[in-house]
Structure 1
Amino acid sequence: MERNNLAFYDQQASQWWNETATIFPLSKLNPLRFQYFDRFIPNWRGLKVLDVGCGGGYTCEFLAQRGARVTGIDPSAACIEVATDHAEEMGLTINYHVGVGEILPFACDLFDVVVCVDVLEHVQSVAATVTEIGRVIQPGGLFCFDTINRTWQSRWLMIWLLEDVLRQIPRGIHNWHQFVPPKELHQLLTQAEFSQVTLQGFDLFGRTPLAQITHLIHYLRTGEFQIQFDNHTGVMYIGTARMS
């Protein structure tokens, strides 16, 4: 079975904003992850923000509704088409592009903030993507991200349980070998001249297998995630870095 099969996003594009679609639960993560990012940026109004790996536009629209001047980029032309159409329907001005994180078609020092959520575990080169993000952020600008750690816990939860057993995530969407350990990402950020790196656990499912199953049962019953930020980075983690 192919792993890191990103064709899923093309296949889901037409249903991206359908509340019954497989992809739609991702839209519910933005209010949660921005509880963390808002600690560093309490007011997004007027900021020039790039969303790398924007898909059909969940995070772009979330930020545009908060007054940011948003640009989104994604390798899926189908997702970008849907994102563009939906933004127009919502009366939102968002600048969308087809492209990849490793080669961003933007000038240096252009953005106040770059957001890259649920994406670094899918790119072909994390190092190249982080370097490009650093290039397009102006000095003093902020990089906001979350991703998945490469541990036995993430393999058990994200792939075996959520993909293979419960089928809450499409099978093949993740490649465990492309998950990104926090130490590795911290090193890449430093090499790309970022500083003031923060990292915390983005704990959607609890720390232990029993807690994770309990959280999943709650989600399956209610459709709501239970979130806490802590020092447990064994599965998902979230962070920021400041461009020097």
Structure 2
Amino acid sequence: MTDAAHPAAASTDPSVDPAEVAKFSAMAAEWWDPAGKFAPLHKFNPVRLQFIRETAAKHFGRTGLRPFDGLTLLDIGCGGGLLAEPMTRLGFAVTGADASEKNVKTARTHATTSGLAIDYRVTTAESLAEAGVACDVVLNMEVVEHVADLPGYLNACARLVKPGGLMFVATLNKTLKSLALAKIGVEYVLRWLPPGTHDWTRFVEPERLTGFLKDAGLTVKQTQGVSFNPLSWSWSLSNDTDVNYIVVAGR
């Protein structure tokens, strides 16, 4: 299994796009700055955290302040750890994986200062699957629109889900609305993200994504829309999947 001492191995798998890794590596120091380049993700984070917690708690029949004690979670494309840390506080034994060594260094440093034990690794879904890693929950959040080989990547991710487990896949729909709002609006008008952060041609329609998940042997349980309200400047779950959406699939 690849670790931080051997980061080169993380770029050998076909799903990894070195240009995408370099793009996010260049912003790695800003992951935990709520006013920095990842500010939109900080605004979005509470909604997706609540959805993951409630969906997983219902699926596993868990309650309490640390409902997921005894369960394992893998955060693929963990970035700086914005999801890995709160998932650890909810009781999961968390592994965070990212192809960017700089992202992992940022995540490790922040987890240490927060007093959290998280197993961060510079590695890929393919490498983890080859090593036989499997977890109760796999988070695949805002990653699929950045990979080079989507079917191959999702096949590897599906192998990482234990029988009876769940995978959450959050991404952007490929619509004219998403082009206007999530690409042109966010990057060039509002300047919430650096221009070029996203490639609209890699956005994925829900039907295409769920098809790949089914082909990988998973059962699609739910497709949930997420919308931004510019008047209240807030995110919420909705029936609108035209821009952002989350798919829940199980093994």
Q: Pick the TM interval, shorter chain.
A: 0.7 to 0.9
Q: Is the 1:121–1:147 contact (alpha carbons within 8 Å) kept by the matching residues of 2?
A: yes
Secondary structure of the corresponding residue to residue 121 of structure 1: helix
Q: 1:161 to 1:6 in 2, by over 3 A?
A: farther
* RMSD of aligned residue pairs (Cα, Å): 1.9
Instruction: Provide the rounded CA distance (Å) in 1 between the counterparts of 2:242 and 2:39.
Output: 25
Contact 1:203 1:228 in 2 (8 A): yes
1:124–1:102 CA distance, 2 compared to 1 (3 A): farther
Structural mapping, 1:34-183, within 5 Å: 34-42=49-57, 43-104=67-128, 107-108=131-132, 110-183=134-207
Please name the residue that 1:235 is paired with: 243
Contact map agreement 1:108 1:138 (CA 8 A) in 2: no
Alpha-carbon distance in 2 for matches of 1:162, 1:236: 13
Greater Cα offset, 161-170 or 173-182: 161-170
Q: Structure 1's 155 and 203: CA in aligned 2 closer, same or farther, altered over 3 A?
A: same
2:25 corresponding residue in structure 1? 10
1:30 aligns with 2:39: no
Counterpart in the other structure of 2:11:
none
Question: Could you say what secondary structure the match of 2:48 adopts?
Answer: helix
Identity of aligned residues (%): 34
TM-score, normalization by structure 1? 0.85
1:186 to 2:210 alignment: yes
Residue-by-residue CA offset, 1:17-49 (whole Å, 9 max, x unaligned)? 233322144133232013322333123233110
Change in Cα spacing, 1:49 to 1:106, as seen in structure 2 (3 Å) is farther
Partner-residue secondary structure (3-state), 1:201 = strand
Residue 112 of structure 1: SS of its match in structure 2?
strand
Deviations 1:163-197 (CA, angstroms, capped at 9, x unpaired): 11221111001111111110011111111110143
Structure 2: distance between partners of 1:35 and 1:136: 23
Deviates more, 1:180-189 or 1:20-29: 20-29
Q: Secondary structure at the match of 2:83?
A: helix
Q: Secondary structure at the match of 2:198?
A: coil
Change (3 A) 1:51 1:173: same
CA distance change for structure 1 residues 32 and 123 in 2, over 3 Å: closer, same or farther?
same
Q: Distance in 1 between matches of 2:172 and 2:47?
A: 16
Say whether the 8 Å CA contact 1:102–1:125 is kept in structure 2. Answer: no
* Structure 1 residue 204 corresponds to structure 2 residue 228: yes
Match of 2:5 in 1: none
SS in 2 for 1:38: helix
Q: State the AA in 2 paired with 1:110.
A: A
- Distance in 2 (alpha carbons) for counterparts of 1:78 and 1:132: 23
Q: Which runs of 5+ in 1 are unaligned?
A: 206-214, 220-224
Residue 24 to residue 157, structure 1, CA distance change in 2 (3 Å) = closer
Residues of 2 paired with 1:149 and 1:196: CA distance?
A: 17
What is the TM-score of this pair, normalised by structure 2?
Answer: 0.83
